[in-house]
Amino acid sequence: MNFELKSLTPAQAAQLPADALLVALPDSLPKAMAASPDALSRLAAQALADIDPGAGQALSCYRVNGIKAPRVVLVRAGDGSAAAVRKAVAAGTAALRQNGIERLALVLSLLPDDAAAVRMAVQACADASYAFTTTKPSAKPRALKRVTVGVTDTAAVRAGFEVGKALVTGVEFAKEWANRPGNHATPSHLADAAKALGRQPGIKVDVLGPKQVAALGMGAFMAVAQGSAEPLRFIVMHYNGGAKGDAPVVLVGKGITFDSGGISIKPAPEMDEMKFDMGGAASVLGTFAALAELKPAINVVGLIPSCENMPDGLAVKPGDVVRSMSGQTIEILNTDAEGRLILCDALTYAARFKPRAVVDIATLTGACVIALGAVRTGLFSPSDELAAALQKAGDTAGDLAWRMPLDDDYAEGLKSSFADMGNVAGRAAGAVTAAKFLQKFASELNWAHLDIAGTAWKSGAAKGSTGRPVPLLLQFILDQAQAGPTRKAARKPRA
């Protein structure tokens, strides 16, 4: 989908040769607009009283005299804040979706110029018109091809517009791969997707197979993969936007392309949704797709340990003990707590880059869904500074997170009689104890963990990936780039 930013008065918007106008209205307009010589201003002023209060409330019109576009949707945007504009544009775009609109004029000229609001508007327009067609030939593809975003002053909002466009690319890349069924998104398929991104300027990708992973001593990762006929892949991505010696941000995405639970097999209902268990990996891929467009001055490393978790005769068993890359041994008490096993080896690998920050992203625990639902991602970090930076990035991006505790007492349940630790600690505070497990492999890192089990996808009639937390991750990286480089990284090793 092609977005164009343009300076548009209401009179100019009325004369655009578009298939539809989507006009965002503030809560109040000057009374004089009702007598304005241009048709769109008059319509907006007269219709405002007929639209129910509340951001997202809309009124549709057809063949309005003086307006070239055959369809006009007027939608309340409340106080004009980014959140209100996002809600308004989402509702308006959804109202037009069934009409086969190809050219849309998104008129924000009646609102104050706000870069954050424009960014949100672009994202909302794309999200509301998105369609997954890869494995569904009968699905209607997205009709919308061109969106002209009309504002008063393009210079004032250009930065937000560019970030919004990049986020559309990144979020939709993440959605595409998370939505694909497990047989269309194997670890090898994910590696191919990463390699495709590696053809972009500034991005380099290495893919490690089973022999290389074994040579690294990633025993926990290999244990999860051993029950599947699909070979594991360890994907190492580099975005080189900063100086050669600058310490990178490292993103680690959980890439379980299908999670049956292994020997501790999951119940059958909704097991199909376990194709979304690589939402963390998808978010890393999506973030790199967005970085390729924006090209910020920072170095970023993406690590994706990817495999299936299956229950065949070679699968790891409850009670088995494995040795992680760190040398710490793990008693696998529940094979359905597999995400932390592949992540722990990736976190150990991440240390070689001497990173400024490491953020792992994982659909890790049902407990986080119970705690926070689908609104906020669970955020864990022992660093107040890093936690605050991620929380702020989420607030800015409208991709919300909430910091959870990491008290040492929560790790008591991970003690094992037969290994350095168990991989589970019972049901109580399950999201926290999972994070405490990961912390054992990140003690020397400036580390944070994002549990996206509640936010990475939707169930029910709207089943599908949300593309979260690509907006949070990209904003965090942009903030880090603006802050400038940190300490020098060690010479980058061969992957």
Annotated catalytic residues are 266, 340
Nearest CA to 4 among 224, 157, 171, 210? 157
Nearest CA to 186 among 79, 269, 258? 258
Contact 447, 250 (CB under 8 A): no
Strands 103-107 and 146-151: parallel
Strands 233-240 and 299-309: antiparallel
Indicate the angle between helix axes 430-439 and 339-350, nearest 10 degrees.
30
Phi, psi of 429 (to 5 degrees): 50, 45
Nearest CA to 490 among 244, 300, 326, 251? 244
Find all residues with CB under 8 Å of 352, minimum gap 6, and list them.
490, 493
Name the DSSP class of 35: G
How far apart CA 318 and CA 60 sit, in angstroms, is: 59
DSSP codes joined into one string, 319-381:
T-EEE-TTS-EEE-S-TT--HHHHHHHHHHHHGGG--SEEEEEE---HHHHHHHTTTSEEEE-
Q: Report residue 80 as tokens.
A: 């004009």
| Beta carbons within 10 angstroms of residue 226's beta carbon | 17
Q: Report residue 109 as tokens.
A: 């000229």
| Location of structure tokens 């990286």 | 477
**CA distance readout (Å), 88 to 107, 376, 398:** 12, 21, 14
Distance of CA 408 to the CA centre of its chain: 30
